Amino acid sequence: MTANPVPRQSRTVSRRGLLAGGLGLLAAAGGGGAWALDRYVLDHVEVSGASTLTAQNVVAAEADSGGTATASTYTSDTAKISITKTSTGSGADTITYFVADVRVTDATIVRSAFANDQFGANIIANPSEIAASVNAVLAINGDYYGFRDTGIVIRNGVAFRDSGARQGLAFHADGTMRLYDETTTTADRLIAGGVWNTLSFGPGLVENGKAISGIDRVEVDTNFGNHSVQGQQPRTGVGLVAANHLLFVVVDGRSEGYSRGVTMPEFAEILVGLGAETAYNLDGGGSSAMIFQDRLVNDPLGKGQERGTSDILYVAG
């Protein structure tokens, strides 16, 4: 399917190297162990009003869409969402996860928003707070872009960072989604090809309807504090069944008797079983959160409390 490119006048926002400077100050102040206390100790705003920057000016205050909602479903002229909870196993082997089946008529209502409407280092807010700020119907935590200074970051048709480093995920404005190698392209090329949003975490979980092999050995980053994403963990992921048909999946974990979490291959198999043709792993652990109609759906770490993060992926009303 041919992508429908977003307008060429979409703007690129320069990083100016300031995020890397913030990391240097952190290392000087407390050494590598400082990562264990917090992902950053210094705030740095690179772009304000970031969540409302779009290539098509489509992210704005909107009137009520007339959508109707129950505890688990939402229907409007542009989106149909249903949420299910599944528990498998028993005792210490229990796994509990939540699936939001999302069908949209316009792929550009699947958007990203930044904490405090700002792009930069150590800018965090609870996913529910970010979701409320943009009137999101449904949201999940994103890739925590503020934890690193690499990766291609395109949000709502606007490029904020162009520093390819890993396998990324690209959402196209025609409703398709694909895995790609960030090191072989640029943000400008992606936007010219119709990319609406990118996420940079990983690894990719599913391609062509099959679980990707070797994902149990992938390291997302090599810095202290996020050396590996392996083991039985809480997870957040996104999958594509067909154009404009998405899956948002959150697995709870580290909570004995409720949910142990899943390995990366187990997560991939869940998404394959749900019909995903393509799927990608996002930030997990205590960050894993699903928000629906201003309500926290899952139970992060069995504590019923969210953890601050840099960004969300959401469906607009």
For residue 230, what pLDDT band results from cuts at 50, 70 and 90? confident
For residue 219, what pLDDT band results from cuts at 50, 70 and 90? confident
pLDDT at 13: 46
Compute the distance between CA of residue 253 and CA of residue 233 in angstroms, rounded to an integer: 6
pLDDT at 296: 96
Q: pLDDT tens across 102-122, in order?
A: 999 999 999 999 999 999 998
For residue 220, what pLDDT band results from cuts at 50, 70 and 90? confident
Q: pLDDT tens across 64-84, in order?
A: 434 544 448 999 999 999 999
Residues whose CB falls within 8 Å of the CB of residue 185, separated by 6 or more in sequence, listed in order: 152, 164
For residue 228, what pLDDT band results from cuts at 50, 70 and 90? low
For residue 56, what pLDDT band results from cuts at 50, 70 and 90? very low
The encoded tokens of residue 215 equal 């994902």
Q: In what order do the strands lie in the sheet with 177-181?
A: 177-181, 167-172, 195-199
pTM over 0.95: no
